[in-house]
Homo-oligomer: A and B are copies of this chain.
Amino acid sequence: MSNGNIFVGETIGTAILILFGAGVCAAVTLRYSKAQASGWVVIAFGWGFGVLAGAYTAAPLSGGQINPAVTLGIAVDTGEWDKVWVYLLGQMAGAMLGAVLCYLTYFAQFQANKRQTGTTPGTAQEPVPTIGIFSTVPEIRHPVANLLTEIIATVGLVLPILAFGLTEGLGQSGTLVLIVSLLVVGIGLSLGGPTGYAINPARDLGPRIVHSFLPIPDKGTSDWGYAWIPVVGPLIGGALAGLISNAAF
């Protein structure tokens, strides 16, 4: 695979992932959305099928890693590091592009989230904080616990991915990405409760950068104080999964 194909594939694939993933958070969070308050099962399947869409689209060009933690895990496992920087660049570019596309898709809903003034007292609706649509927000702020959650959840993502390739026939039947996407649904349902499961540094950092620049009315904080945890945690988890895979398989 050429550097160009890798970059284009990862950019398109990660953009689709974030369009779907940030999209489902917008769908459930924002007012005047048909999916408002439709629950955690919608969030988990939305992100999972975002992986399905993004990774299958990227697959023919770059293999469809669309996650720096996966890229790191593969590099640690196999010892091949020379293309890693191209993957990371594409993933960051794609994550930022996807966040912009999500904003455009929900443009009218973001506008309607503006604080209303001059309305009858008691009827005005407060703006919903919007950073949770773009990036993860923990339920309880506890850096050690949050970091631990992201590390374990990312091992739970990357170790199975590294093992899936060893199941005979799965790659040949073309359904490997389907299995990964259902794995991601499972991580969301099971391990997403405490921190909202970044498990992907680009997924969290890219949209957070975009959020801090986008002209969303009353958008609230971009919460940069928390930003290092969903980057460092998944990177540690990805590397750890690579080490375990290398030792066990």
Contact = CB atoms under 8 A, between A and B. Distances in A.
Interface of A: 8, 12, 16, 19-21, 23-24, 26-27, 30, 32-36, 38-46, 48-50, 52-53, 56-61, 101, 104-109, 111-112, 139-140, 142, 145-146, 148-149, 152-153, 156, 159-160, 163-164, 166-179, 181-183, 185-187, 189-194, 196, 244, 248-249
Contacts of A189: 20, 24, 27, 35, 42, 45-46, 49
Secondary structure call for the A interface: helix
A21 B48 CA distance: 18
Contact of A112 (B24, B140, B159): B140
B160 A108 contact: no
Given A35-B40, A41-B42, A56-B179, 5 more contacts: A23-B191, A27-B189, A34-B196, A52-B179, A167-B174
A98 to B, nearest CB: 10
Q: What's the number of copies of this chain in the assembled complex?
A: 4
Contact of A52 (B8, B61, B139, B186): B186
A190 B19 contact: yes
A167 B27 contact: no
A169 B179 contact: no
A201 to B, nearest CB: 19
Contacts of A45: 41, 44, 185-186, 189
Given A175-B170, A193-B33, A183 B39 contact: no
5 contacts: A19-B191, A27-B40, A33-B139, A59-B167, A109-B193
Contact of A36 (B49, B101, B193): B193
A32 B137 CA distance: 12
Given A174-B167, A189-B24, A142 B104 contact: no
Nearest to A165: B60
